[in-house]
Structure 1
Amino acid sequence: MENEEFRLVSPAIDKDGRLPRKYTAEGQGALKNLSPPLEWYNLPEGTKSLALVVQDIDAPDPSGPIVPWTIWVVANIPPTLKGLPEGFSGKEEEVGGDYANIKEGHTDWKVPGWRGPKLPSHCHRFEFKLYALDDMMHLGNKVTKERLLELIEGHVLGEAC
């Protein structure tokens, strides 16, 4: 199993990498803040926790160039889990068990949890990046992408997109 690649997949995202409308905040069929299901495979040996950052990498900045827009930050996912179910965001305490210690961070909307992107066009690309870590992260009360990326430096065993 050592030569098998650490992978992140979502059965909900189509083969062209488009995010289905129900996971966005735009148009008929949108369910606003419904997070998509995710699955991962072949965790690196020694993984003690996982962290996830999801960004719209084609988000326009009204005053300048395209800059990634953070849609979801999740930390301290136990390596015993094989994925996150659809609609998980905001329900980690309800779900309980292995999900109870997962911490959702603040997005670029300044609120925690999945926030369905508002798409001015449907050609946006989304980056889902999962980090396998050699430790649990002690994040404090307010987790952001920047804080998470700073804390995981030196602890990343592998990355999956």
Structure 2
Amino acid sequence: MHADDLFVNDPFARLPEAASFTVTSANVADGAAWPAEQRASGTPGGQDRSPQLSWSGAPEGTKSYAVTVYDPDAPTGSGFWHWAVADIPATVTELPAGAGDDTGSGLPEGAYQLPNDARVARYIGAAPPAGHGPHRYYTVVHALDVPAIGVPADATPAVLGFTMAGHILGRAVLTTTAETRA
């Protein structure tokens, strides 16, 4: 077996174990394709609209949440971060659709968006290159043991992930797909 076969492009393969809890969306079911509104503007029907998310069953001791949307299949060598939100209060268990707009208008007080890989602090929808095949998108709610993660608002999602690694109590994962036919 080749070493690369051990990970099969799994974004959680080398992260610390964490309890699982549940995340759902009114916009898309786990394993389904992103609807047009969650795809990037510039794609047919794309609106760069963040999905509605609800979560439950987070581990005891959760003091805040972070939400990330990541495509490990992007042809970059490092995947593509579509959205990152930090410091969501532990009392919040839902984000409305569109919360990830340019102003973060649907985010709770104290929460903030970090710049994604397009370098904008907002949600950017799926837009895999034509003919590249299906891409997976991991929408993850991270339950954290600190009330504030302490990363600057201009940090990258990778810095957020690195900083969170030692603070994750639980992880709720919603996996979606997108493909652009050639």
2:87 corresponds to 1:76: yes
How many Å separate the matches in 2 of 1:38 and 1:95? 12
**Equivalence for 2:64:** 49
Shift of 1:5: 5.2
Secondary structure of the 1:149 match is helix
- Scaled by the length of structure 1, the TM-score of the pair is 0.82
Shift of 1:124: 1.9
CA shift in 2, pair 1:24/1:95, >3 Å: closer
2:155 corresponds to 1:143: yes
Secondary structure of the 1:147 match is helix
- Aligned equivalent of 1:116, options 125, 129, 153: 125
**Equivalence for 2:138:** 127
Aligned length: 150
Percent identity over paired residues = 31
How many Å separate the matches in 2 of 1:113 and 1:13? 19
Shift of 1:14: 3.8
- Aligned equivalent of 1:37, options 43, 52, 60: 52
Amino acid paired to 2:22: R
CA shift in 2, pair 1:5/1:34, >3 Å: same
- Scaled by the length of structure 2, the TM-score of the pair is 0.74
Render the CA deviation track for 1:68-120: whole Å, top value 9, x for unaligned. 2100011001111121100001343x457xx0211101111111110112233
Q: How does 1:13-24 map to 2 (within 5 A)?
A: 13-14=28-29, 16-24=31-39
Q: CA RMSD in A?
A: 2.1
Shift of 1:141: 3.3
Secondary structure of the 2:135 match is coil
**Runs of 4+ more than 4 Å apart:** none
Secondary structure of the 1:125 match is strand
